[in-house]
Structure 1
Amino acid sequence: MKIKYIFRYLVVASLMLHFTACTDTEVEQKFDKTPTERLNAQKSELQEVLLTSPDGWKAVYFTDNKQLGGFTHLFKFTADGKVEMASDFNTTSTPKFTSDYDIQLGSTVSLVFTTKNRIHLLSDSSPAAAPTAALRGKGYLGDFQFLYYGQDNGQLIFKANRTAGDSNSSEIRFVKATSQDWDDLSKNFLMIPNVIGSNVFGANRGLEIIDGTTKKTYDFNPYTTITRFGSYTDITSNNGIGIGYSPNGIVISPAIKVGDQMLSNFIFNSADGSFTATGTNGASASIKYSNTPFVISDDYKNFAPGQPQRVVGYIAPNLTAAQSNSVLCRNLIDKINAGLPATQSLARVQVVFNNAVNGTYIQYLFNGGKATITHFVTTEVNEANKTIILTDDGWTHNAATIAILKDLDAQLTNPEGLYIKKEAFTIVASNKIYTLANASNNGFRITTYQL
């Protein structure tokens, strides 16, 4: 072999050895600390960073976003192991309390609130603390030991020790708080009536998701304040969401995916009662009102002529305060009660469909000894509009007796018909809920049980 080729081979071999040596050195540098040393370094990091925010930290803690909402907590840590804390767990006040915290080493680094404070309200398992019967003995499923997972754009990332082993468990993010956050924490409570809603802006409430030019709509179902949990549904799906309050809106979990964006922060608009989360490139999600139903179901088919008998009924007092009753509905019922003697009131409005003897009829039942009044109707289906039309076919009483019912009855027998929808929620009793909405979209909607 010629000398020049031997020389080239030696140069290449030398370079390969050089690069291999560099690579080995880099690998060794990555593992130049033992696991204990790395945990101690992370502990020191957390100890230092907790003290770096002058006004402390804020976290909206969703303990279980499959059945519970979020609770805002403010923390201000001191170097001697004390933490000042406030939260919006109680819906009347946001007092500050001081307690102890510690940063502990185990298989990972943990922030532990070692003596009782506001965060412990979420882990109280006493029977009285349970928000629902299913959570008796479990409380709000909260924790007071948070496993530290590092930082992301100035935010501290934790997971609750109770759910850390669940791959679907939510992160708990601490963001730097401001003095305004402490001053405004009690304003979270002012948002509660807006989340509950009052239907003053429309008979129906829905979630509208827009991804550029594509729009999808859902019904936004009644919201439960004690759990801070709600849902939005269409014909095929029921999606639960936990809700946390803020002074100017709400934050939800899980976030709503719009295209490739995740939207979770909704701003309240007092002009129309809506909550809107805005992304980029035309992406948005809005909880809003309309007199037109957001979802029109095929449930009317089960009440059509020729089907078996079905009965649905509004029953006071169980359904009197139902959020799914529209303002117009409530006003008409109040008007009836105001026109009755003090000892009497409207007890029930029920529609009997397809009775084998009497066909279809509307019954008005009263408390206080007043006789039941019945309005017989004929029925037809408008397949195009997905409605059932009830048409007058005579009353059991004379015009003077039925006059007090005429305005409410006119909504049920309007010529445009009724939308009928089986709802995903229940109220007081376990009976299925059906809502009947005036298809003329004038703002009438009444809530009934399947009887």
Structure 2
Amino acid sequence: MKTKNILKYLLLIILMLQVNSCVSTDAEQKFEDSPTERLNKQKKELDDLLLSAKDGWKAVYYTDDNQLGGFTHLFKFLPNGKVDMASDFDDDTEKHNSQYEIQLGSTVSVVFTTENKIHLLSDSGNSPLAAGKGFLGDFQFLFYGQENGDLVFKSNRTVKEVRFVKATPQDWDDLKGNTIMNKNITGDINSPLFRTLETTDGTTVKKYELNYNSVVRFGTAIPLQDGNAETLKLAVAFTPTGITVRPAIIVGSQKLTDFVYNETDKSFVATGTSGAKATIQFTNAPPRLTDDYKLFLEGGGQITIGYIAANLSGAATNSPYAKAILAQVNAALPANQKIARVQIAFNDPLNGNYIAYTFTGGKATIYHFFTTSEDAVNKTIILTDDGWIGTPAARAFLKVLDDEITNPKGLYLKKESFTIFYTNVIYTYASAATPFRLTNYKF
């Protein structure tokens, strides 16, 4: 081999050794820390981050936004594994102190180790959905890093993303306002029975019947118009001024999520641009009107319906307002007497139309006769006084109940699809003037 070639090979070998030496050194530096040491560094990093926020962290925790709304939690992490926590899960929005740990596993996680507000979402004894599942929540959150100043976690059991955003003093002050908004959208016994959602892009209006479950903070909006087959799901979280919903409601080309409460008309309104808007509001009129009332008009044939307290007092279709009216009547009676039935007969061949109020404890039945007419536009039946059996003094305690059934604006009547205890068809009637609704068997 020529000397010239020998020198080329020697130079090539030297270069290869230098390259290998560099690669080996980098690898040694890269894996200088053991896996345990790296996790310990991450553990300290997370703990430092949690402690670094002067006013703590805020998380709106959606445990499953396909069936549950969001619950706002505030955390102020303290030295020695202590944490102050508050939430809008219920009316108690005060701070509660407990403990937390940064734990090592396949990754680093924060674990709330002693009972606090976050555990209300995972309590198996507190299950609004499947028994034993609680609110599908967790109290261990795996750390996935930072993004734009937020701490990004995933729940340990359900792998749902949860973001911790730096809180402000105002967040802590405002938390009580969230519970007020909860009451505003839930309503009270005097609130109208039904809710609607209406959207407009400035030209096209879409209307929906909104069924909202206040316990799980979740609503389903069912379209009311032909040609619109899109059912909307609303996972609701509360703010001091209204609500936010997930997913966003699409109105035209805009996405609306933030609704502001209007104290005047009790509505929640999300406003976009160029006339885009979404409105949630209460109404006494059922969103879907039926012609079921026509069966009860004069000439419609004999038909009797009745509320039987022993079987129907617990029906979910009895409104809280109706229950309060019944309780008020019962409270005016002697202790051994209560309303047993409120039975309404239509087109009876012998006695015409009448309401029969029957009682326990041997009290005699009280009869109120009426005539019927209809409001064909609003699809209600109107029961008009046609005389009583019994003196005014003897029936005075019934006035608060009878006025609801015979209110001049009439009753909405609906044949229901469910049964209770027996196979009898169920009818409900609801006042067109108040949130009064009572459940009845058809006889």
C-alpha displacement at 1:120, in angstroms? 3.2
SS in 2 for 1:135: coil
Alignment partner of 1:120 is 2:119:
yes
C-alpha displacement at 1:336, in angstroms? 4.8
Spell out, residue by residue over 1:71-108, the C-alpha distance to the aligned partner (whole angstroms, 9 max, x if none). Answer: 221123469876543334453353332423337563xx
Aligned-partner Cα distance in 2 for 1:76–1:430:
56
Contact persistence 1:303–1:353 (CA under 8 A):
no
Alignment partner of 1:313 is 2:303:
no
1:274 maps to amino acid = S
1:313 maps to amino acid = Y
Aligned length: 399
Aligned partner of 2:202 in structure 1 is 212
Aligned-partner Cα distance in 1 for 2:231–2:172:
36
Aligned-partner Cα distance in 1 for 2:108–2:318:
43
Spell out, residue by residue over 1:375-417, the C-alpha distance to the aligned partner (whole angstroms, 9 max, x if none). Answer: 455656655433334456665x245455654564454345654
Aligned partner of 1:281 in structure 2 is 274
Aligned partner of 1:297 in structure 2 is 289
Aligned-partner Cα distance in 1 for 2:142–2:65:
19
1:311 maps to amino acid = I
Which runs of 5 or more residues in structure 2 are unaligned?
Answer: 1-29
C-alpha displacement at 1:177, in angstroms? 0.6
SS in 2 for 1:94: coil
Aligned partner of 2:15 in structure 1 is none
Alignment partner of 1:145 is 2:140:
yes
Aligned-partner Cα distance in 2 for 1:272–1:156:
39
Contact persistence 2:367–2:390 (CA under 8 A):
no
Aligned partner of 1:185 in structure 2 is 175
Alignment partner of 1:349 is 2:348:
no
How high is the TM-score relative to the length of structure 2? 0.67
1:146 maps to amino acid = F
Aligned partner of 1:198 in structure 2 is 188
- Map 1:41-52 → 2, pairs under 5 A: 50=50
Aligned-partner Cα distance in 2 for 1:388–1:318:
24
Q: Kindly report the root-mean-square deviation, in angstroms, between the aligned alpha carbons of the 2 structures.
A: 5.0
Contact persistence 2:120–2:126 (CA under 8 A):
no
Aligned-partner Cα distance in 2 for 1:193–1:386:
31
Aligned-partner Cα distance in 2 for 1:431–1:286:
38
Aligned partner of 2:413 in structure 1 is 420
Q: 1:299 to 1:392 in 2, by over 3 A?
A: same
C-alpha displacement at 1:300, in angstroms? 1.9
Spell out, residue by residue over 1:93-138, the C-alpha distance to the aligned partner (whole angstroms, 9 max, x if none). Answer: 53332423337563xx55331623433332233xxx2234x53322
SS in 1 for 2:171: helix
Aligned partner of 2:260 in structure 1 is 267
SS in 1 for 2:121: helix
Aligned partner of 2:87 in structure 1 is 87
Spell out, residue by residue over 1:18-52, the C-alpha distance to the aligned partner (whole angstroms, 9 max, x if none). Answer: xxxxxxxxxxxxxxx99x99x98x96986775555
Greater Cα shift, 313-322 or 204-213: 313-322
Contact persistence 1:208–1:218 (CA under 8 A):
yes
Spell out, residue by residue over 1:239-264, the C-alpha distance to the aligned partner (whole angstroms, 9 max, x if none). Answer: 66444444443444455443444444
Contact persistence 1:56–1:74 (CA under 8 A):
yes
Spell out, residue by residue over 1:212-245, the C-alpha distance to the aligned partner (whole angstroms, 9 max, x if none). Answer: 34444445557444x4455555669986644444
SS in 1 for 2:175: helix
Aligned partner of 1:59 in structure 2 is 59
Q: Which of the pair has more CA radius of gyration?
A: 2
C-alpha displacement at 1:423, in angstroms? 7.7
Q: 1:418 to 1:141 in 2, by over 3 A?
A: same
Greater Cα shift, 310-319 or 85-94: 310-319
Q: 1:368 to 1:322 in 2, by over 3 A?
A: farther
Q: 1:143 to 1:391 in 2, by over 3 A?
A: same
Aligned-partner Cα distance in 2 for 1:381–1:173:
56
Identical columns (%): 46
Q: 1:246 to 1:117 in 2, by over 3 A?
A: farther
Contact persistence 2:194–2:287 (CA under 8 A):
no
